[in-house]
Each structure stands twice: as structure tokens, then as C-alpha cells.
Chain A
Amino acid sequence: MPEIKPMEGNQAVAEAMRQINPDVVAAYPITPSTEVVQTFSSFVANGLVDTNYVAVESEHSAMSACTAAAVAGGRVMNATSSQGLALMWEILYITASLRAPVILTVVNRALSGNINIHCDHSDGMGARDCGWVQLYGENVQEGYDNLLQAVRIGEALDVRLPVMNCIDGFLVSHSYELLQVEDDAPVKDFVGPYQAVNPLLDISHPISIGPLDLWDYYFEHKRGQCDAYPPAKEAILAVGKEFGKTFGREYGLMEEFMLEDAELAVVALGSTAGVAKVAVESLREDGVKAGLLKLRAFRPFPAAEIAAALQGKKAIAVFDRAISFGAASGPLFSEVAAALYTAGQQIPALSVLYGLGGREITPEQISGVFRQLPEVASGGQPADPVLFLGVRE
């Protein structure tokens, strides 16, 4: 019987890793993801998993060893945050290019400087172009559920991409919530056995992995890599559906919360979606037709699906917990705006930058943004569509 018990996000992630029982974990501690690594190490020490745990000396080596282990031919997992993800940056691209389905939990945290250990999405957004699938979870349950699904998505034979399972630092990683922990056996059945593709350890079919690739082939290889993302989107949907059938919680590319008949909408990632739901509910009580689009899959970016979900809205606000310095708006905003433009939809929109370095975001603040939207809708779009929310100016 599945058990419902209070768990922190990090413990939930470690628990999912125990159930997945990967072949290799190579990891390095960093707040706020440290506990994942610690808890998993105790599983190794107590014989609860068969994993070969490689206690590397840096995140750069962690991702190098993970990538190497994955191309060798097996299931590989890891967890990190912030500076750790930044240190992996060089290798992240290579992991994806080698089509190594490594699964990395990213407990989102601000990037230095100045050094800050609390939540924002600068780390994940910094890694958005490296070729990994990125799933953002709202709460502890999603951190757990997304990790189980990540294995299936990344390892799908027409996908073969690494996957980041992103949860918000402290807000989710260190929050106790009631988690439905599924039984080991159905989880094991759900993730299934690892299927190796051209494993390096196949001694009778020697292959060279990671060659020098110049002007005459590199571009074709990059173009070929692009073909993995539409199937990744399909895999997210198919696996999310199967997960729903098996465990009762279905997932898609996004969650639409009171969105269908909404006139004003907010787009957000991660735990902020939970805060926004509170705001939307109370606005609805006041008769405001508010709605939320919570994006689960940031990579591959479901542009057409987002445009369809937002069609006909009078105004929207896109919440970014990261700054793309020097850009005209937040990174999520840019992509949502591009999606709408491409779909021929001219919806007045605000880019909201909020919550950096763990700055609190409240339902009242989000309601405040909703209350600005009618003016934006009626052509009162501010000259600078970028709104800094909750900062002392």
C-alpha cells in the first residue's frame, strides 16, 4: 500500500532515487541539495541500494563521471544546486550531445555574487540552452513524481536526453509536506529496466564517442540533436499519462489552473505556482476572472501549447525568478512572448521579476499584479513592461 507521510523535498528525491536504484551516482554536496546526497549515501552505506556511489571531488567531476558512466551503459543520477550546476556547465552540453540520459535533480538556488543560498531560478535558467530536458515541480510530491517520470522520459529510445528535475531550494527542498510514497514494486515496474544504446562497455562492438567534429559534420549533428526534442515532448505527455493511470496523478507539459475561462492570467514555474493558486482563488471570489498557467516542462518549451492555452486572454503577466541581464525581459517572458508572437497572438503582457535570492513572494503580491492587468489590457501597457516585484528601489 502506498504510504502517506511527511517528508521534505530532498528526502522525497532521495527516496525516489532509492526506489529507482540507479547503477551509478556521482555527486558533490551543495546547499540546498546536500541532503539528497547525504540521504542517498546512507542508503548506500546501509545496503538499501546496489548503486556504485562515486564521491567525486567537484561538480565538474560529478557531471563528467556521470556522463562517462551513462555512455558506458547504465542508469545514472545526481543532484546539485546553483554554483554546482554552474561548475557543471561545460559538461552539461556534452552530456546532452552524447545523448546520455543522466538524471539530475536541481534544487534551484541563486547564483553568486553575492553568494546566497536561497531559491531563485538563475541556475536552471543559466542551463536552459544546454540540451537537457527541464521539468519544474511545484511541491514535494511533484519533486518525487517528476523524478520517477524523468527516468522514462530521458531513456525513451527516440529521446535519449538528460533530464533536470528542478525543485525550489528550501521552499520545497526543506519543506515538510505530506508525500504519497508509492510502493517499491510498482515504482520498479514503472521505471523498468535500463536499455543500453551503443554502450561503451560493449567490447565486441568498439565505438569512438566524442570525436573531433568540424565544419563538415558538426552542424548536421547539432541539427540531428534538435530532432530529439519533439519526441521528448511526446514522452513527457505519454509518461505523464501512464503515471496517472498507475499512481493516480496525471501530468502534462503544463497545468492550467482556472485558466480556461480566465481573462487575466499569470504564467509561473515552481513553488510560486502554489502561491499563485491562492491568489487566483481569492480573486475569483472577488469576481475577477483570474487564471494560472503553471509550466512544468520548460525544456522542451511547449510554445504552441502555451499559445493555445493563453489564447483570448486580455492580459498576462509572466513571472520570472531569474534575470537575464541585459535582456529586455525575464527569460520565461521572452519565450512566452515569442510563442504568442509566432502564433499570431498580440496579448498585452507584463514581465515580472521577483523572488531573487529567496525573497518571499506572497499571494497578495500576485493579486496586486493581477489588479494591474486590466489597465495593461486596455492599452495602458507601461513603457517598460518589466516590473520588479518586492524589491526596495
Chain B
Amino acid sequence: MPKNLKQLSESEVRLTGGHRLCPGCGEPIAVRQVLMGTEDPVIVVSATGCTEVSTTIFPYTAWACPWLHIAFENAGAAVSGVEAMYKAKLARAAKGETLPDYIPADKPYKFVAFAGDGGTYDIGLQSLSGAAERRQQFLYVCLNNEAYMNTGVQRSSATPMGMNTTTSPAGSVLPGKTVHRKDLTEIMVAHEMPYVAQCGVSRWRDLVGCAEKAFAVDGPTFINCLTPCPLGWIHDSSKTVEIGQLASDCCIWPLYEVVDGKYKLNYRPKEKKPVDEYLKAQGRFRHLFKDESGAEMRRKMQEWVDYKWEQLLKKCAEE
């Protein structure tokens, strides 16, 4: 049952304040809401990236739950290693060995990996794919700000077409990134994971609810969460949630879930807004509003969004 705000405000704080992420960063919003999805003990694994570096600058840590970081491209493997050890200890206990006293027998653990889009769509895809295929029990959350933000806004394969990044800069010849992003959520659906969802930070009930459902599954689950980045997307730090909402209102980032292969749209905007409205709100697309070639690219974006949205509606059996 999705909790109300009052209940959520009373839930255990696992990522505390005092971390050093930018004001308005979408990542800690997503992390906190996801972690509100369970009351069970949680072990968190992070990939290298903004959240990892900003929450654990030695000798400080913002994590009130056990937390592990090994490297950039291995969150899938790392979370499966921790889970494997936990399961090994339980299995041995079931055979008569004593369970270590630091593992309470009556509280099943949950395992969550948080990784950026770089750590997920690109360099960490193999590790995630392997862990998903092995059917280990974990929730993997992609904190998707559509570029490598920790290293200074380089393009990733999650970067949308037209975005100005430091490795796909908008120049006099090239209009920012020239190709569409890959559809990672569908790639994870194709892994036939028991639960896959695409979420954002503007609808807490949706994100916490999806996390709850994911945590309830005994198997690998995946949430792709769009986390606006004021620095890289170039918007005011007070606009993070609004921009996130706009992404879903123009259907460039639909909110949906796939439970055992069955699609369900989790948010349908009353009125589908033009993509231009979303693009206009962010400095990363500013160059697309200067000339005819920019306008052409915006038309292409709209066409692509329309096409993907229609496909999704069909999959969700929506009219």
C-alpha cells in the first residue's frame, strides 16, 4: 500500500542531510524516495558518480545504512556479490550452521544498487545484464541525469539527441548530440526481469510505490529514474521537480512499469505537451532555438517522442 506523506516523513532516514550534492540535484531525491519503499534492512551499493563522491567524502558519510562502493562499471556485480554472501550465510544456517550474530534471522535484507546513466547505460551495462540474467535478488536504480555529470557533463548513451554536452558540444557545424539515446528500460524489460519501471522525481507517490513493488519481488528489479541536473541541464535549482514533471507531460520520459512482462502506464498527462516546451526550459537545448537547423532537430525530436509514445501506449493497451 502506498504510504501517505505523513507516514513517509516518519520513515527511517538512510541518506542523511549534509551530503555535498548540488542544490537542486535530482539524485538524492530519487535515492531517498526509493529507500522509503522498504522498512526492511537495506544494504546500498553505489557506482562511482555524483552521488557516490558527494555522500562519502572521507572522513564523513551521509549514509546511515551499510554502504559499499567499489568502482564505476560494476554496481551490478558488486550488489550481486553482497547478495550472494547474504544468501550463502542463510543457506548455511538452514543446514544447521549458526548464522553470524550480526545478521538478524527475522529481518530479510534488501539490496539496492544506485548508478548513474554512465554507470548503467554505458560502462556498467554488461555487469548489470549479467546480474539480471542470474536472477539474483536486488533492486538496481539508474539515477539518470542523461550525461556523465560527475566528470563535467560528457555525453552518455542516455543523452538525448540535441543536447549540448562537453563531448557533444553544440558548435557551428554540429547541433549537440546527433543521435537518439538508447532505450535502456526496454533493454531491461527484454531481460525478462520480474519488475521494471521508468520513474521520475516529480511524482513521489509513483516513485515510492514503484520502489515498494520492486522491493517486494524476490528477484532482480530495475528502476530507471530521470533525475534532472541543474548544472548540466542548465536550469534553476528550484526547477528540478518541475522540469522532471514536464518531461513526463511531454512524454519524452513516460512513467510506466512492466510487471512480469505486463506493461502498465503509471502516468498519463491530461494534455500531451509539445516537446518544445520541455526543451525551451533548459539551457542544454538553447542552441536549438537559434536557427532553422535547430528547428529541424526539434521537429525530429517531436516525431521520435510521438513514435515512442504511440508504441508505449500500444504495449500498455491504452488508447
Residues from chain B with Cβ under 8 Å of A64 in the complex? 70-71, 74, 77-78, 81, 127
- Give bound CA distance, A304 to B101, whole Å: 43
A203 and B77 form a contact (CB under 8 A): no
Pick from B56, B78, B103: contact of A211, CB under 8 Å: B56
A74 and B89 form a contact (CB under 8 A): yes
Question: Known interface pairs A203-B107, A212-B57. Does A61 touch B76 (Cβ–Cβ under 8 Å)?
Answer: yes
Question: Known interface pairs A68-B81, A201-B43, A212-B52. Does A57 touch B127 (Cβ–Cβ under 8 Å)?
Answer: yes
A211 and B102 form a contact (CB under 8 A): no
Residues from chain A with Cβ under 8 Å of B95 in the complex? 50
| Minimal beta-carbon separation of B119 from chain A (angstroms) | 12
Residues from chain A with Cβ under 8 Å of B41 in the complex? 203
**B87 sits at the interface (CB 8 A):** yes
A305-318 toward B: CB 8 Å interface, digit per residue (1/0)? 00000000000000
A74 and B85 form a contact (CB under 8 A): yes
Residues from chain A with Cβ under 8 Å of B204 in the complex? none
**B67 sits at the interface (CB 8 A):** yes
**A187 sits at the interface (CB 8 A):** no
Question: Known interface pairs A26-B84, A200-B68, A214-B57. Does A67 touch B103 (Cβ–Cβ under 8 Å)?
Answer: no
**B91 sits at the interface (CB 8 A):** yes
B130 and A201 form a contact (CB under 8 A): no
Within 8 A of A (CB), among B65-121: 65-71, 73-74, 76-82, 84-89, 91-92, 95, 97, 100, 102-104, 107, 109
B64 and A206 form a contact (CB under 8 A): yes
- Give bound CA distance, A58 to B88, whole Å: 21
A211 and B81 form a contact (CB under 8 A): no
Within 8 A of B (CB), among A36-54: 50-52, 54
A54 and B89 form a contact (CB under 8 A): no
| Minimal beta-carbon separation of B98 from chain A (angstroms) | 10
**B193 sits at the interface (CB 8 A):** no
**B315 sits at the interface (CB 8 A):** no
- Give bound CA distance, A69 to B56, whole Å: 21
Q: Which residue of A is nearest B67, CB measured?
A: A208
**A207 sits at the interface (CB 8 A):** yes
Residues from chain A with Cβ under 8 Å of B92 in the complex? 23, 50
Q: Which residue of B is nearest A54, CB measured?
A: B84
- Give bound CA distance, A22 to B195, whole Å: 32
B66 and A207 form a contact (CB under 8 A): yes
Number of interface residues of B (CB under 8 A): 52
- Give bound CA distance, A26 to B131, whole Å: 12
Residues from chain B with Cβ under 8 Å of A24 in the complex? 81, 84-85, 88
**B309 sits at the interface (CB 8 A):** no
- Give bound CA distance, A58 to B58, whole Å: 31
A196 and B100 form a contact (CB under 8 A): yes
A199 and B100 form a contact (CB under 8 A): yes
Q: Which residue of B is nearest A57, CB measured?
A: B130
Pick from A50, A66, A204, A208: contact of B88, CB under 8 Å: A50
- Give bound CA distance, A52 to B91, whole Å: 9
A214 and B107 form a contact (CB under 8 A): no
Residues from chain A with Cβ under 8 Å of B43 in the complex? 72, 200-201, 203
Question: Known interface pairs A68-B79, A200-B66. Does A52 touch B61 (Cβ–Cβ under 8 Å)?
Answer: no
Within 8 A of B (CB), among A91-110: 91, 94, 98
Pick from B61, B69, B74: contact of A60, CB under 8 Å: B74
Q: Which residue of B is nearest A28, CB measured?
A: B130
| B contact patch SS | mixed
B58 and A211 form a contact (CB under 8 A): yes
Residues from chain A with Cβ under 8 Å of B68 in the complex? 68, 71, 200, 208-210
B82 and A68 form a contact (CB under 8 A): yes
- Give bound CA distance, A323 to B239, whole Å: 58
- Give bound CA distance, A255 to B76, whole Å: 43
B81 and A67 form a contact (CB under 8 A): yes
B100 and A52 form a contact (CB under 8 A): no
| Minimal beta-carbon separation of A50 from chain B (angstroms) | 5
Q: Which residue of B is nearest A209, CB measured?
A: B68
| Minimal beta-carbon separation of A68 from chain B (angstroms) | 3
Residue in B64, B67, B107 with the greatest tally of chain A CB atoms within 10 Å: B67
Within 8 A of A (CB), among B129-174: 129-131, 133-134, 136
A199-229 toward B: CB 8 Å interface, digit per residue (1/0)? 1111111111111111001000000000000
**A55 sits at the interface (CB 8 A):** yes
Question: Known interface pairs A55-B134, A60-B127, A67-B81. Does A201 touch B100 (Cβ–Cβ under 8 Å)?
Answer: yes
| Minimal beta-carbon separation of A311 from chain B (angstroms) | 44
| Minimal beta-carbon separation of A91 from chain B (angstroms) | 6
A200 and B129 form a contact (CB under 8 A): no
- Give bound CA distance, A265 to B77, whole Å: 47
Residues from chain B with Cβ under 8 Å of A200 in the complex? 43, 66, 68, 82
Question: Known interface pairs A61-B127, A200-B82, A212-B57. Does A52 touch B87 (Cβ–Cβ under 8 Å)?
Answer: yes
**B63 sits at the interface (CB 8 A):** yes
Residue in B85, B88, B103 with the greatest tally of chain A CB atoms within 10 Å: B85
B85 and A52 form a contact (CB under 8 A): yes
- Give bound CA distance, A69 to B82, whole Å: 5
Residues from chain B with Cβ under 8 Å of A212 in the complex? 52-53, 56-58
Nearest 3 Cβ contacts at the A-B interface: A68-B81, A57-B130, A65-B81
Q: Can you list 13 A-B pairs, Cβ within 8 angstroms, ordered by A?
A: A26-B80, A54-B84, A56-B130, A57-B133, A64-B81, A67-B81, A68-B80, A73-B100, A199-B100, A201-B102, A203-B107, A206-B67, A209-B66
Q: With A204-B102, A205-B102 given, name 18 new contacts (CB 8 A).
A: A23-B89, A24-B81, A24-B85, A54-B134, A61-B126, A62-B77, A67-B78, A68-B77, A68-B79, A73-B100, A91-B70, A199-B100, A201-B43, A203-B109, A206-B64, A207-B66, A211-B61, A212-B57
On A, residues with C-beta under 8 Å from B are 23-24, 26, 50-52, 54-58, 60-62, 64-74, 76, 90-91, 94, 98, 196, 199-214, 217
